[in-house]
């Protein structure tokens, strides 16, 4: 059995209650009120709003809405932002299993998570992302999924940057085997010829500046618009 396939099956087989207990143990006690409040708010948003586009993930998603480019490109698309700083793939999987995919029918779901999985191998991170996509396909079969690749991180080359690059390579192979999903490359020229990343793109060499987000969000917006405008008939023609 393929390693990533085995990981996905184990993640999808986990009972929500057991997974929730494990996640509570992973979180600092001081983080619990913040995370719980955000999750509860997201569940309420699912009941009160009708998004065409849903963003879900970690701080890379959460911080996006603080920049003008969110209001310029994504707010007009009736987008919801379900990002929580510090989340791993397992946190996102738990959230989606526990209310954040209920009472809504988004046309496009953007997934961006994995860089916080410090304790996991690249294969496990890729498997976690695949599990999220499979859950979305089950709960929201009408939705088209965009997975954003993991960004390079750290001012200079380092093991975490190498692991993120390996995750992206694994996803390039595995995601085409799943339904209704595309992987969007987030390279954006962030790594210079000398291997360094500029603070003008990532202020702490991890999180993006406004200029850094622009490099990713413009092609992302183009892809979202393409998917929103694509009718089922056009999709069949494209696949034929």
pLDDT (tens digit, 9 = 90+) per residue, 36-86?
899 999 999 999 999 999 999 999 999 999 999 999 999 999 999 999 999
Local confidence band at 162 (pLDDT 50, 70, 90 cut-offs) = very high
Question: Could you confirm whether 207 is annotated as catalytic?
Answer: yes
What residue segments make up the domains of the chain, in order of their start? 3-239
Beta carbons within 8 Å of 145's beta carbon, 6+ residues apart? 108, 109, 110, 111, 133, 136, 137, 180, 181, 182
223-233: average pLDDT: 83
Gyration radius (Cα) of the chain, Å: 17
Instruction: Give the integer Cα–Cα distance in Å for 94 and 205.
Output: 28
Instruction: Give the integer Cα–Cα distance in Å for 63 and 197.
Output: 19
Better pLDDT: 23 or 76: 76
Beta carbons within 8 Å of 218's beta carbon, 6+ residues apart? 73
Catalytic residue, from 59, 87, 174, 201: name it: 59
- Mean pLDDT for the chain? 87
Q: Which residues of 104-113 are buried (b: 16+ CB within 10 A; e: fewer)?
A: bebbbbbbbb
Question: Could you confirm whether 2 is annotated as catalytic?
Answer: no
Question: Lowest-confidence range among 93-102, 150-159, 228-237?
Answer: 228-237
CATH class of 3-239: alpha beta
Question: Lowest-confidence range among 14-28, 55-69, 191-205, 211-225?
Answer: 14-28
177-205: average pLDDT: 94
Q: Which long-range contacts (CB under 8 A, 24 or more apart) does 185-188 make?
A: 185/149, 186/148, 186/149, 186/150, 186/151, 186/216, 187/149, 187/152, 188/212, 188/215, 188/216
Better pLDDT: 175 or 24: 175
């Amino acid at each position: 059995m393929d390693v990533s396939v085995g990981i996905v099956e184990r993640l999808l087989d986990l009972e929500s209650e057991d997974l929730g207990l494990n996640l509570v143990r992973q979180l600092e006690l001081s983080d619990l009120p913040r995370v719980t409040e955000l999750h509860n708010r997201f569940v309420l948003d699912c009941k009160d709003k009708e998004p065409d586009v849903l963003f879900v993930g970690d701080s890379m998603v959460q911080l996006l809405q603080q920049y003008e480019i969110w209001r310029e490109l994504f707010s007009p698309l009736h987008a919801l932002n379900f990002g929580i700083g510090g989340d791993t793939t397992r946190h996102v999987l738990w959230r989606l299993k526990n209310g954040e995919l209920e009472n809504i029918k988004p046309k496009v779901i953007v997934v961006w998570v994995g860089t916080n999985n410090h304790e996991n191998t690249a294969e496990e991170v890729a498997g976690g992302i695949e599990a999220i996509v499979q859950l979305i396909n089950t709960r929201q079969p009408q939705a088209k999924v965009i997975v954003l690749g993991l960004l390079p991180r750290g001012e200079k080359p380092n093991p975490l940057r190498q692991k993120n690059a390996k995750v992206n390579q694994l996803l390039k192979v595995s995601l085409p085997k799943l339904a209704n999903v595309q992987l969007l490359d987030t390279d954006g020229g962030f790594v210079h010829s000398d291997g360094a990343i500029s603070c003008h793109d990532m202020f702490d060499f991890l999180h993006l500046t406004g200029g850094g987000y622009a490099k990713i969000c413009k092609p992302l917006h183009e892809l979202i618009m393409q998917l929103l405008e694509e009718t089922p008939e056009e999709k069949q023609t494209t696949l034929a």
